[in-house]
Amino acid sequence: MELNGKRVALGVTGGIAAYKAAELVRLLIKQGASVQVTMTEAATHFVTAVTFQALSGQRVFSDQWDPRVANNMAHIDLSRRADVLLIAPASADFIAKVAHGLADDLLSTLSLARDCPLLVAPAMNRQMWENPATQRNVATLRGDGVVILGPDCGEQACGESGAGRMLEAADIVDDLIAFFQPKPLIGKKLLLTAGPTFEAIDPVRGITNLSSGKMGFAVARAAREAGAEVTLVCGPVSQEVPRGIRRIDVTSALQMHAEVMKCAASQDIFVAVAAVADYRPKAAAPHKIKKDGGGAPAIELVINPDILAEVAALPAPPLCVGFAAESRNLADYAQKKRVAKKIPLIVGNLIDDGFGGDENTLVLYDQSGATPLPRGAKIELARALVGHIAKLLAAHR
């Protein structure tokens, strides 16, 4: 429940995407938020107030002169009770109103009189979105400190395809969660690796490991939430990358090494989360190796590049962070690895504590000693790690 205790004032304007707002309310409630819905008159032609009242458990407002508000100032009271005002969907007409300070109904008046941040999720036809007037209005909102969520690209209700679709409800919830996170890495570039590598023996067999990539993807999400520009180089995993993160897919350790070394020198931070294979076959067989009765084949192994050590040895390296997943002697092995690679921070965990799962137990090892993090969800641990990295970066620079 990552929005536990947060009070969301949700504004719904007219457009077919209003149906997504119902799912949005459900997901916000599921994340622990309380939701107070305000609708424009146009929105009521697409979804009823009864729907939002049933989902939110709170009465819905649409009339600027609603007598249910004791002082008849709903436009004041509703924002004073909220941590954020979220407009989803936000039509082109409503965006124009807010950009120009118009206030001719309850929601536009609420937007003007608000005492909390404003987030806007546009939803309109692609031509309306691309229209210079709309783009000027959006630029004005951004200049005024309004956060614009999306829009997405894809098929639209009108039958056309392009930019202008409202983000899916789950994406908006993720963006809202990110909005409330601290932003210590704004303006910073962060590169990280995640997942396993696969070292081919023949076209169908290889050397790999059980890394799921979940911890690396959690760190990527937490870094993006903290304001960083994130590039994720990942081995073969089934995880879905968070929006706003550049993803580079690789298979082998050599491929991961090549992609990391292309851009490492331009980064502020490098986090090596991937479980990179230490060895690879010297030569992969061109065809599937067959059993011929002669016994098991001999496979000659060679050492893979040490990606983290090479990045740390650059003339002007980024702040380097390593991971050490061990089956025993965690403190001893982790600190030795940190010193050997000449990096300021290494994150240790025992594989029995979270390898492949959704939770983990981590210990942060730096020159000051060990900082254990309590067991928790990987995203919670990733946020704590990113906070620690931000402090090291501030001291490092």
How many Å apart are CA 53 and CA 62, to the nearest integer? 12
Q: What is the mean pLDDT of the chain?
A: 92
pLDDT in tens, 49-59: 999 999 999 99
Which CATH number fits the domain that encloses residue 317? 3.40.50.10300
Asked if residue 67 has pLDDT above 80, the reply is no
Cβ-proximal residues to 130 (8 Å cutoff; 6+ apart), any chain: 162, 163, 164
In this predicted structure, what is the pLDDT of residue 71?
58
- Dump pLDDT digits (tens) for 215-247: 999 999 999 999 999 999 999 998 888 889 999
pLDDT at residue 24, rounded to an integer: 97
**Residues, the chain:** 397
Helix axes 49-56, 18-30, angle to 10 degrees: 10
What pLDDT sits at residue 66?
65
* Of 5-9, 135-139, 157-161, 279-283, minimum mean pLDDT range: 157-161
Residue 1, in any domain of the structure: no
Q: pLDDT by residue (tens digit) across 78-123? A: 777 899 999 999 999 999 999 999 999 999 999 999 989 999 999 9
pTM (predicted TM-score):
0.89
More confident residue, 161 or 268: 268
Give the model confidence (pLDDT) of 151-175 as tens digits.
988 888 878 888 899 999 999 999 9
pLDDT of 72 reads 55
Q: Is the CB of residue 344 less than 8 Å from the CB of residue 319?
A: yes
How many domains in the chain? Answer: 2
Question: Is 263 among the catalytic positions?
Answer: no
* Beta-ladder partners of 319: 269
Question: Does residue 199 sit in the same domain as residue 128?
Answer: no
In a domain, 184, yes or no: no
Q: Are both 159 and 198 inside the same structural domain?
A: no
CA 365 to chain centre: 25
Do 228 and 339 fall into the same domain?
A: yes
193 alpha-carbon distance from chain centroid: 15
pLDDT score, position 69: 64
Query: What pLDDT is attached to residue 70?
Result: 57
At residue 12, the pLDDT reads 97
223 in the same domain as 151: no
Q: Which CATH number belongs to the domain containing residue 166 in this structure?
A: 3.40.50.1950
Domain containing residue 171: 7-179
**Choosing from 116, 153, 158, 234, which is the catalytic residue?**
158
- Provide the pLDDT for residue 325: 87
